[in-house]
């Protein structure tokens, strides 16, 4: 079957790679650190992904025309990589010092840290709210040194902060990415044939006494107990230096200090997939598909992809000057297009799966990179794609200097679910139920079960040692969760259910999860669009005595990081239509339990504003929730767009879909939610005027947590 497609709404054309005079005068530098092999540790703690991370980032920087990096200015400290040196503590210190002596005002420095993290009692407890230093572990890491209270050759968060201070004091701008985690909390995992490794090293693996960790945490806990507020934002694993007369700083972290982050085979379904840090691959895949964005836009899209890909339970953290353009180059929006090279078998371009190109996709042939989409000479079909290379068929002759342009995206609406091994009655009951679901066609063609450990979007697991040994747990693609996550994960009890009853519940839950995820997938493809509508999320506090908003409590959420809300908090939305035409809005609430609640709809005339409260946070459930705002240009003479048919409950039966006429976006959403085809959707531009803006999908994420 030829997949249907969604046409990508390309941003305004920004041609060539010309940079401003200031940008040409500056120098770009990169230090890429990937620690994989630790000779002083047991081999079970060794990693493979960090070397692949460094290779991926290096290749991206070399091909990045928006912010060119001279090969001589890129240093690779990565064991197991051609051209890389072992990332020992001495080498890291020496290269950071060399960078500090080399760069100057307006230069740009990119730093990447991939490897193990850990924790140890803080040398200066006053700098750590949890009493622990976060550590990045070079390959020559040694044991805990009890006499001086440090881990031999560890790179502490305090020292990294000092290094960043020194770099910024030169006037250079710095972007640093950490793909490691520091949490020592216990984790659970589904059986995995694919290798999935956590980038954390428990303190006891380094010989750090449990008593020392407990004492440091207890002392810090007592000190902060009086001021504890569950809504307080998480502190970054590395303290971010303050602003001042120095260069700018942006820091991206794969996980918060109490979380873990995995490395696994990426990308899904690719023949050249390999072990990568999930965060590194997702970050650069997003950047490759969305060049010209700000750090804030990049961070928001990474969070969205973590959700739609069900990649991991960890929450990336972002700090610094987030509204600057990535790499500090004010290149504006850029079109996804590349010079075409003619080969014996077709065409080739220097872009691939990292840029969102997949086999079967059609690329438009452009005689000139400045031509509009409507001037395409034709289309060629992608026959093969790896991370940085795409080949196409030879269906047409192209002129010299032609470009291939990405003008569509393919959405995969299917859901692949890995079953647990047949150990224990609960797992055997699930396997029997899965056979019923497939033979009876209860979930349609979009759902596919695979064996334990196979590549999957979702993993089902049974934990015999958990408080609910008869339960089926729904795990992310990595199959790894923290012990504390169990109470927030979806689960189904197998007790007192026949095989057919269990099949009914499991299929219903999986279909509901798929519908919620597909809604978010469409939002990721449509993106923020070109509609000039300003949107912001607001919070306030409800007074339970008066049932009214507490005076002065209403505020706008401005941080890119996922905020924490507690019972009694109220969520509102402000929309301002600054376009010259009417815009319809639909507001949906997607719960951590995969419920979809329809909140409101209406029409905003040019210049008008919506400013209302919609959601009261209760203590009924906690987890990652999302507010999704769908904005569509109002169709002449049409009723207000109505997406209420997408509403679904968390665990009860589905509500019937509305059957009234739909606009393009409503038809696409209905198809995604209730259709049978496993890939793609209806065109976003099939009936709109060529120059009219496409719909916008805005997504706001927040965690609901207990007040205590």
List pLDDT tens digits, range 460-488. Answer: 999 888 888 999 998 888 777 776 677 77
Residue 682: predicted pLDDT: 32
SS3 295: helix
CA gap 645, 567 in Å, rounded: 28
For residue 358, what are its two tokens?
A: 């997949």
The CA–CA distances, whole Å, from 614 to 453, 600, 629 equal 41, 8, 12
Pick the CATH number of 25-184+198-222+238-328 from 3.30.300.90, 3.90.650.10, 3.40.50.1460, 2.40.10.120: 3.40.50.1460
Residue 13: predicted pLDDT: 30
Residue 584: predicted pLDDT: 94
pLDDT at 690 > cutoff 90:
no
Sheet harboring 155-156: ordered strands across? 117-121, 132-136, 155-156
CATH class, 415-511 region: alpha beta
Over residues 163-189, mean pLDDT: 84
CA gap 78, 75 in Å, rounded: 9
Strands 623-633, 696-704: pairing is antiparallel
Place of tokens 């380094």: 206
Range from 69-73, 261-265, 359-363, 466-470 that averages highest in pLDDT = 69-73
Residue 192 has, within 13 A of its CA and on its CB side, a CA count of 23
The CA–CA distances, whole Å, from 594 to 445, 486, 621 equal 20, 16, 12
Angle at which helices 664-674 and 499-526 pack, to 10 degrees?
Answer: 150
Residue 316: predicted pLDDT: 92
Place of tokens 């960090």: 50
Residue 129: predicted pLDDT: 64
453 vs 648, which has greater pLDDT? 648
What pLDDT band is residue 166 in, cutting at 50, 70 and 90? Answer: very high
Instruction: Write out pLDDT tens, residues 48-104.
Output: 999 999 999 999 999 988 788 999 999 999 998 999 999 999 999 999 999 999 999
Q: Specify burial of residue 466 (Cβ count, 10 A radius: 0-12, 13-18, 19+).
A: middle
Instruction: Write out pLDDT tens, residues 135-152.
Output: 899 999 998 887 677 889
For residue 7, what are its two tokens?
A: 């046409």
What pLDDT band is residue 14 in, cutting at 50, 70 and 90? Answer: very low
Instruction: Write out pLDDT tens, residues 442-452.
Output: 877 788 899 88
The CA–CA distances, whole Å, from 130 to 142, 222, 427, 487 equal 23, 10, 39, 24
Could you count the other beta carbons within 10 Å of the beta carbon of residue 447?
22
Instruction: Write out pLDDT tens, residues 608-666.
Output: 999 999 888 888 777 888 899 999 898 888 899 999 988 888 743 222 223 333 455 55
- Per the rule left: phi > 0, alpha: psi between -120 and 50, beta: everything else, 684 is alpha
Instruction: Write out pLDDT tens, residues 216-251.
Output: 666 665 555 445 677 777 777 776 665 556 899 999
Instruction: Write out pLDDT tens, residues 535-553.
Output: 999 999 999 888 889 999 9
Q: Specify burial of residue 371 (Cβ count, 10 A radius: 0-12, 13-18, 19+).
A: middle
CA gap 271, 343 in Å, rounded: 21
| Strand runs labelled E in 269-336 | 274-277, 317-320
Strands 6-7, 408-409: pairing is antiparallel
pLDDT at 1 > cutoff 50:
no
For residue 439, what are its two tokens?
A: 């033979």
* Nearest alpha carbon to residue 177 among 301, 271, 316, 324: 316
Q: Running DSSP on this structure, what letter comes out for residue 480?
A: E
| pLDDT > 70: percent of the chain | 82
- Which residues, other chains included, contact 397 with Cβ-Cβ below 8 Å and sequence gap of 6+? none
* Nearest alpha carbon to residue 322 among 236, 262, 258: 236
Q: How far is CA 583 from the centre of its chain?
A: 29
Could you count the other beta carbons within 10 Å of the beta carbon of residue 225?
8
**What contacts 24+ positions apart, CB below 8 Å, involve 689-693?**
690/374, 692/633, 693/9, 693/529, 693/530, 693/531, 693/579, 693/633
CA gap 64, 558 in Å, rounded: 30
* Nearest alpha carbon to residue 337 among 400, 378, 288, 399: 288
Residue 559: predicted pLDDT: 80
CA gap 685, 468 in Å, rounded: 49
What pLDDT band is residue 703 in, cutting at 50, 70 and 90? Answer: confident
SS3 12: coil
Predicted structure pTM score: 0.85
Residue 169: predicted pLDDT: 93
pLDDT at 29 > cutoff 90:
yes
Please spell the DSSP secondary structure of 429-466, one letter per residue.
HHHHHHHHHHHHTTT-TTEEEE-TTSS-SEEEE--TTS
The reply to whether domains 25-184+198-222+238-328 and 415-511 share a CATH topology is yes
Which of 83-92, 106-115, 187-196, 592-601 has the weakest average pLDDT?
A: 187-196
| Alpha helices by DSSP H, 236-277 | none
Residue 629: predicted pLDDT: 92
Instruction: Write out pLDDT tens, residues 385-431.
Output: 999 999 999 867 888 899 999 988 888 888 899 998 888 999 999 99
CA gap 686, 22 in Å, rounded: 42
Place of tokens 């890291």: 92
| Strand runs labelled E in 331-431 | 337-339, 341-343, 346-349, 362-366, 378-385, 390-392, 403-406, 408-409, 415-418
Residue 412: predicted pLDDT: 82
* Nearest alpha carbon to residue 180 among 120, 237, 251, 114: 114
Residue 78: predicted pLDDT: 97
| Rounded-to-10 torsion of CA 37, 40, 45, 46 | 10
Q: Which helix (H) or strand (E) holds 150?
A: strand 150-151
Cis-peptide into 591, omega within 30 deg: no
Residue 599 has, within 13 A of its CA and on its CB side, a CA count of 22
508 vs 284, which has greater pLDDT? 284
- Which residues, other chains included, contact 93 with Cβ-Cβ below 8 Å and sequence gap of 6+? none
Domain coordinates in residue numbering, the chain: 25-184+198-222+238-328, 337-409, 415-511, 527-704
What pLDDT band is residue 15 in, cutting at 50, 70 and 90? Answer: very low
| Rounded-to-10 torsion of CA 309, 311, 317, 323 | -20
Question: How long a stretch of residues is the chain?
Answer: 708
What pLDDT band is residue 688 in, cutting at 50, 70 and 90? Answer: very low
- The distance in angstroms from the start CA to the end CA of the chain is 54
């Amino acid at each position: 079957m030829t997949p249907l497609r969604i046409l990508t709404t390309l941003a305004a054309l920004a041609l060539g790679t010309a940079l401003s005079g200031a940008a040409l005068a500056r120098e770009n530098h990169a230090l890429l650190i990937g620690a994989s092999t630790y000779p002083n540790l047991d081999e079970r703690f060794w990693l493979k992904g960090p070397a692949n991370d460094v290779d991926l980032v290096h290749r991206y920087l070399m091909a990045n025309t928006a912010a060119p990096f001279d090969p001589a200015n890129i240093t690779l400290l990565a064991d197991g990589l051609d051209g890389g040196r072992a990332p020992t503590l001495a080498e890291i210190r020496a290269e950071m010092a060399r960078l500090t002596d080399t760069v100057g005002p307006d230069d740009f420095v990119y730093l990447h840290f991939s490897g193990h993290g850990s924790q140890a009692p803080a040398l200066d407890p006053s700098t750590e709210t949890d009493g622990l230093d976060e550590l990045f572990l070079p390959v020559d890491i040694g044991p805990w040194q009890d006499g001086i209270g440090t881990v031999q050759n560890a790179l502490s968060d305090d020292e990294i902060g000092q290094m960043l201070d020194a770099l910024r004091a030169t006037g250079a701008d710095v972007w640093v990415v950490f793909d490691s985690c520091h949490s020592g909390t216990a984790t659970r995992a589904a059986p995995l044939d694919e290798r999935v490794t956590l980038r954390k090293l428990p303190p006891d693996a380094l010989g750090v006494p449990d008593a020392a960790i407990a004492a440091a945490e207890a002392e810090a806990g007592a000190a902060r107990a009086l001021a504890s507020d569950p809504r307080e934002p998480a502190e970054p694993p590395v303290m971010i230096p303050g602003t001042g007369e120095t260069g700018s700083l942006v820091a991206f972290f794969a996980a918060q200090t109490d979380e873990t982050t995995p490395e696994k085979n990426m990308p899904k379904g690719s023949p050249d997939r390999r072990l990568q840090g999930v965060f590194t691959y997702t970050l650069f895949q997003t950047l490759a598909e969305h060049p010209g964005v700000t750090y804030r836009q990049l961070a928001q899209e990474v969070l969205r992809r973590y959700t739609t890909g069900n990649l991991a339970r960890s929450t990336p953290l972002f700090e610094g000057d987030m509204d600057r353009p990535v790499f500090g180059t004010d290149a504006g929006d850029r079109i996804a297009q590349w010079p075409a090279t003619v080969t014996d078998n077709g065409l080739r371009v220097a872009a691939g799966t990292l840029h969102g190109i997949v086999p079967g996709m059609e690329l438009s042939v452009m005689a000139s990179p400045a031509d509009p989409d409507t001037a395409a000479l034709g289309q060629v079909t992608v026959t093969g794609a790896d991370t940085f290379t795409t080949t196409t068929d030879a269906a047409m002759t192209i002129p010299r200097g032609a470009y291939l342009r990405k003008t569509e995206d393919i959405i995969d609406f299917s859901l692949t679910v890995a079953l647990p091994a047949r150990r224990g009655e609960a797992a055997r009951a699930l396997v029997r139920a899965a056979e019923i679901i497939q033979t009876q066609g209860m979930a349609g063609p979009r759902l596919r079960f695979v064996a334990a450990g196979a590549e999957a979007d979702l993993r089902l697991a049974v934990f015999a040692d958990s408080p609910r040994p008869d339960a089926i747990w729904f795990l992310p693609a990595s199959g790894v969760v923290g012990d504390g996550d169990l109470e927030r994960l979806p689960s189904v009890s197998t007790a007192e259910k026949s095989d057919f009853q269990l099949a009914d519940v499991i299929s219903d839950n999986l279909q509901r999860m798929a519908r919620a995820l597909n809604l978010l997938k469409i939002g990721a493809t449509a993106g923020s669009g070109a509609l000039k509508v300003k949107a912001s999320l607001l919070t306030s506090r409800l007074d339970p005595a008066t049932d009214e908003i507490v005076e002065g409590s209403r505020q706008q959420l401005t941080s890119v990081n996922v905020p924490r809300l507690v019972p009694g908090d109220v969520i509102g939305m402000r929309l301002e239509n600054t376009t010259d035409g009417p815009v319809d809005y639909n507001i949906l609430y997607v719960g951590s339990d995969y419920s979809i609640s329809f909140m409101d709809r209406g029409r905003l005339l040019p210049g008008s504003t919506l400013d209302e409260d919609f959601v009261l946070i209760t203590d009924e459930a906690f987890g990652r929730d999302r507010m999704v705002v769908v904005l569509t240009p109002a169709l002449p003479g049409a009723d207000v767009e109505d997406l209420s048919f997408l509403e679904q409950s968390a665990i009860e039966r589905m509500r019937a879909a509305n059957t009234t006429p739909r606009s393009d976006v409503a038809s696409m959403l209905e198809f995604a939610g209730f259709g049978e085809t496993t890939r793609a959707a209806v065109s976003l531009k099939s009936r709109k005027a060529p120059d009219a803006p496409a719909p916008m999908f805005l997504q706001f994420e927040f965690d609901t947590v207990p007040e205590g």
